[in-house]
Chains A and B, each alone.
Chain A
């Protein structure tokens, strides 16, 4: 199954290698890995999605913590969270064939961010399935996709939880989420949708 981890790591040379090397050593394939700055100085935030057995989560988190540069690990897969991915998709389109792509973009609430005589570029943000849905429809419509660039999944827990209280939140069901907000373009699971609908 897919596991999703958020790891806060020291922003130092070689840390990405250490994390990536750990997964290689455990013979676990990384599906996606995104890294960027966090709210803390000198601390980077990684979202790691990997394919591993359902029971592997504990060992992966424990092994990540054994790396000296890893500050915090959160196995967010089972927790209520918001997941997003950004994709840039370049599609071959002439002025004559553009309009049908425009319609699709409208339906998927994506944006056109570049327009050239022979092509256009779509920016889409959402959960993976939404991005894959757009790609599928583009393919079915016979639009030629020239390039796709995807960031991979990034996630954040719902509610006002800073990384410092994540430790206390490790037990599922203990959360008291406040300010739950229905996301415009869908959320991680049906259960969450229902939960959100109830709260609105």
Chain B
């Protein structure tokens, strides 16, 4: 089996951008005869894969049997949903394609939530599932399920392999599809007999045809000139930076445009980190829980330059009143997103980095005086509605989640990779943890998948073993996938886990408070003692109840090697402000109440 180990692309994969094909291994065209299982691993290895997240079972056992012959690390998860989230977290942190493996039937269906999460956030993952033998396909055999049918709407594409001959070509094509254009998840279902049969293997010969760019991509020079014209003449422009800035690695170009034209930058949740939060032109997160000045700037603007974002309803509020006076330039890789929610005056349909590179030569630097009125106006609105810098708030004996996240940001100097779950803590993270680097916030945006944080963080830590990785999860979401604590312990990962514990499904409670007359139906939540839970896994932990204990607890977690759980018992009935109720306009937000986090004119 030595031949299978010779694919040298291992050395290249860290440098290979997600959107370009892997470097072709220097492969002699000599073919060797391998089983479908061996071809599977050899092909993965050739694609630069050195770790997969999975769970064995009957229909995938031939593949697991062959794994020992290949230098690929297998991370045993506790539930297949965790495998998909780990592959997702791995992909988001590294920009490479993540791989999850599961058996047929329930193993495959357990992946579905994770696949949908990756689909909605355009994350490149490849999921490999075992399937019953091709001879009994369609007979309701034991653990048979039509997983390609089930995942059809939540994958970019999926395949069934019934012959060993097709394994190499299909797997390679799956990787190409996953990372090309707008990235996304791909599922490959391999029947047991295809894993067991033998075929000739030639990695190079299995190279797929180059991916066809979407035929409706369009960045012709007339549009570039029209966009440049709009930008030059705008008095109140705002850049909207989305996930595409990270996916396309267009941070530098975006920054050049913003600085050269003096345009403030608002980010979507998934766009955070694409433009440095500490940059003077950074406004912060837009949308439902964006700060008032961000949404105010968007509503007042005369030009929105949307870069790699899709005008999600959490970003726009009601469309009828969204940025009513603004022209819109939409730069987006997916033609199906153009004019879907917001009508574009100029659409540049293509890779964001390339589009910005084409656009920049037409943008002469602006003289700093012309538009400073606009920046001053935004600055002034910050003064009247800024969050009080909570580190200066006197300790009132209450511990707020905002304290925890603010102190975590301070203590880690904003350099950690933070992986959040979904809910209140996620929004507080987005507001209080300032991300200066891309791929340092990993969060489920589109699908809003509770239970995402812990497994995704395991994937992120494995992708970036030298980075400090923090999980921030609520008490609700943490319990959805808390079994993966075992995985973290088994893999001996140096992972820090902060549970923001308020005894409620917090965001549900907040909506019930605001919109359902405080009818807290089914949102109070009793949890186990998370420190004891950690102990049961052989993981250290600490409970924090006071503000003064926050920083020491964080410091201790950072010093400890191995997983560490901090259970932050925070104020129970705190809410995320500001908030735009679903279906309302951006300016119709619910502002912060006077107590406890007071807004004053001095705050920024």
Contacts and interface: CB of A to CB of B under 8 A. Distances in A.
Interface string A13-33: 010011001000100000000
A59 B216 contact: no
Contacts of A58: 216, 335, 338-339
Interface in B46-90: none
Interface stretch (A60-68, A98-106, A110-118): A60-68
Contacts of B156: 66, 68
A17 B152 contact: yes
B148 A65 contact: no
A62 B340 CA distance: 11
Interface in A65-110: 65-68, 72-73
A59 B339 CA distance: 8
A54 to B, nearest CB: 12
A62 B157 contact: no
A73 B152 CA distance: 20
Given A65-B215, A66-B334, 5 more contacts: A17-B149, A58-B339, A59-B339, A62-B214, A167-B215
A65 B152 contact: no
B153 interface: yes
Interface string B210-221: 000011100000
Contact of A68 (B153, B157, B335, B339): B157
Contacts of B340: 59
Contacts of B368: none
A62 B152 CA distance: 18
B177 interface: yes
A62 to B, nearest CB: 4
Nearest to B211: A68
Tell me which of B153, B157, B177, B215 has the highest count of chain A C-beta atoms within 10 A of its own C-beta: B215
Interface string B177-215: 100000000000000000000000000000000000011
Contacts of B335: 58, 62, 65
A30 B386 CA distance: 51
| Top-6 shortest CB links A-B | A62-B335, A62-B336, A68-B157, A63-B336, A62-B216, A25-B153
A71 to B, nearest CB: 9
A59 B153 CA distance: 17
Interface residues of A, number: 18
A66 B336 contact: yes
Interface string B330-347: 000011101110000000
Interface in B111-162: 148-149, 152-153, 156-157
Interface of B: 148-149, 152-153, 156-157, 177, 214-216, 334-336, 338-340
A55 B152 CA distance: 26
A62 B214 CA distance: 8
24 contacts: A14-B148, A17-B149, A17-B152, A18-B152, A21-B152, A21-B153, A55-B339, A58-B338, A59-B336, A59-B338, A59-B339, A61-B216, A62-B214, A62-B216, A62-B338, A63-B336, A65-B215, A65-B216, A65-B335, A66-B156, A66-B214, A66-B336, A72-B215, A167-B215
B212 to A, nearest CB: 9
Interface in A165-184: 167
Tell me which of B149, B152, B156, B334 has the highest count of chain A C-beta atoms within 10 A of its own C-beta: B152
B336 A68 contact: no
Interface string A138-178: 00000000000000000000000000000100000000000
A55 B338 CA distance: 11
Contacts of B177: 68
A63 to B, nearest CB: 5
Nearest to B153: A25
A192 to B, nearest CB: 27
Tell me which of B157, B216, B338 has the highest count of chain A C-beta atoms within 10 A of its own C-beta: B216
B120 to A, nearest CB: 13
B47 to A, nearest CB: 18
Contacts of B336: 59, 62-63, 66
A67 B336 CA distance: 12
A172 B259 CA distance: 41
Contacts of B215: 65, 72-73, 167
A44 B476 CA distance: 50
Nearest to A13: B160
Contacts of A14: 148
Interface in A1-60: 14, 17-18, 21, 25, 55, 58-59
A68 B152 CA distance: 12
Contacts of B157: 67-68
Contacts of A61: 216
Contacts of A65: 214-216, 335
Contacts of A73: 215
A69 B153 CA distance: 14
Contacts of A17: 149, 152
Contacts of A59: 336, 338-340
B533 to A, nearest CB: 40
